[in-house]
Amino acid sequence: MTEPVFSIRNLFVEYATRDGDVVAVDDVSLDIRKGEILGLVGESGCGKTTLGKAMLRMIQPPGRISGGEMWFGGRDLMTLTEREMQTLRGRRLSMVFQDPMTSLNPLEKIVDHIVETVMTHEPGVTEAAARDRAKDLATRLGILENRIDDYPHQFSGGMRQRVMIALALALNADVVIADEPTTALDVIVEAQFLDLLRELRDEFNLTIVIITHNIGVVAEVADRVAVMYAGRMAEVGEVGEFFGDTRHPYSQGLLKSVPNIDMAEQHLYTMTGSPPSLLRPPPACRFHPRCPHAMVCCTTEQPRFAEVGSDHSAACWLYLEHPNKHPLERVDA
């Protein structure tokens, strides 16, 4: 195992609402390793995007990071001033947002986006040098040199994603967080985009975190998988072991829910129930109201992570000792 380039410890992120505080990220700890592609997966509303934004300390009111540590480059990011964080964003930590059209200025040419990014973070660079860097980077990402003077609306969805990656790499960032980068892409462009991510990881020794609800994307490109449910981490493992020996009941349900051409004559599996409200989440294990293996201990105490493989762990009482490990009696409504 390589040393982590980014470490999260006991992180909490809350959003204030009229009905109370929503804890969108609840006591999450995670190590992200140098040069890996980590797939952060889970249902909509589980806290994936909030965790990604928290890594760059981009949580805005009414949200706030209410506790925990985030270590990068030997420093706890929670102790840095906003000015120090602005220096890190773009230069060492960068984010590719879900919809590039909302992140790109429709009145600016593609080259101007990159030039502005470079000159903002590197004041000593001339406009000519920044423009040369933009041309070189765009070419390496498959954008023709004569297209960098076009506007965002003149690009396809896949090409706009390449522009967003160019912005993320313009300052040689170490860690790139990609939030649902393939959602708006068709399957052909998606495959090309995932190939590009792998090539960039290898060429630039990047660490990439892909936030997605698409299990297929994780299986295709990730080295490790981290599964979130209702604001908490449920399972973390190397991609081959995770798909070959999935342990957490929620992760098992996710995999069963993926359509399979071999199951054309069968009904698609669906998990019972719905994700809980984060205003009033279930006690202890958040998944126990939907879990087919729920036990009494699942309702009284949150499980810690258990090692279930050489590089694989799951937060589930199935793999831990507890005196109340007997089946939960359910009363049908």
Domain count, the chain: 2
Closest CA to 14 of 305, 299, 281, 300: 281
Domain of 68 in residue numbering reads as 4-92+173-268
Give the separation between CA 246 and CA 261, rounded to whole angstroms: 21
Which token pair is 149?
């003077």
What pLDDT, on a 0 to 100 scale, did the predictor assign at position 262? 67
Residues 52 and 110 both lie in one domain = no
Give the separation between CA 77 and CA 71, rounded to whole angstroms: 6
Residues 12 and 154 both lie in one domain = no
What pLDDT, on a 0 to 100 scale, did the predictor assign at position 331? 53
pLDDT in tens, 265-307: 667 778 888 899 999 999 999 999 999 999 999 999 999 999 9
Which token pair is 112?
């101007």
Give the separation between CA 224 and CA 226, rounded to whole angstroms: 7
What pLDDT, on a 0 to 100 scale, did the predictor assign at position 333? 39
Residues 138 and 263 both lie in one domain = no
Which helix (H) or strand (E) segment holds residue 76: the answer is: strand 75-76
Residues 13 and 154 both lie in one domain = no
Residue 246 is part of a domain; what is its CATH number? 3.40.50.300
Q: Pairing mode, if any, of strands 175-179 and 93-96?
A: parallel
What pLDDT, on a 0 to 100 scale, did the predictor assign at position 330? 64
Domain stop point among 136, 155, 170: 170
- Which portions of the chain are predicted below pLDDT 70? 1, 184, 261-266, 330-333
Residues 264 and 230 both lie in one domain = yes
Residues 60 and 37 both lie in one domain = yes
What pLDDT, on a 0 to 100 scale, did the predictor assign at position 225? 97
b (16+ CB within 10 A) / e for 141-157? bebeeeebebebeebeb
Is residue 97, in this structure, part of any structural domain at all?
no
Is residue 284, in this structure, part of any structural domain at all?
no
CB neighbours of residue 231 within 10 Å: 27
Domain stop point among 268, 290, 318: 268
Q: How many Cα neighbours within 13 Å face the side chain of 230?
A: 19
Polymer length of the chain = 333
Is residue 218, in this structure, part of any structural domain at all?
yes
Residues 114 and 19 both lie in one domain = no
Residues 177 and 79 both lie in one domain = yes
Residues 11 and 158 both lie in one domain = no
Residues 144 and 85 both lie in one domain = no
State the amino acid at position 291 in one-letter form.
C
Residues 193 and 82 both lie in one domain = yes
Is residue 207, in this structure, part of any structural domain at all?
yes
Is residue 26, in this structure, part of any structural domain at all?
yes
Domain stop point among 236, 268, 300: 268
Q: Is the separation of the CB atoms in 179 and 203 below 8 Å?
A: no
Is residue 327, in this structure, part of any structural domain at all?
no
Q: Is the separation of the CB atoms in 315 and 234 below 8 Å?
A: yes
Give the separation between CA 129 and CA 127, rounded to whole angstroms: 5
Residues 131 and 248 both lie in one domain = no
Is residue 295, in this structure, part of any structural domain at all?
no
Is residue 70, in this structure, part of any structural domain at all?
yes
Give the max Cα distance, the chain.
Answer: 71
